[in-house]
Structure 1
């Protein structure tokens, strides 16, 4: 198998495939599962010694409007 390991600005990773800061990285258990599944890294949503509880249990959508005020789409601001 090919060696996909990377070294970016001193951060070593077994491969270049990382999970972005999004709902899949909001809990430690999800991050552990990602590494077990082979992901190369994770960008945490919040990291701290004792961070406040962040509620991510709701839609985070914004409406995209046309100039004549018709709805033309939605933007998921959580991702």
Structure 2
């Protein structure tokens, strides 16, 4: 979670009533930004551009579905009592 906070994807509030919230609207958070925040910059060798094709293909139904599922997972992780 700390890496997601440092990447400004989630906000952290300490204390008894603290917790985590998304730092920006879910539509503005990409799978690529989450992976990069947790794993660091992604390199492939040799670089055929596959990573760019997968993560930056914004009109792919599969990618949109994956992003939605990942956001639901993160939301449940951050706010366990919330039903999505």
Structure with greater strand percent: 1
TM-score by length of 2: 0.21
Larger-Rg structure:
1
TM-score by length of 1: 0.22
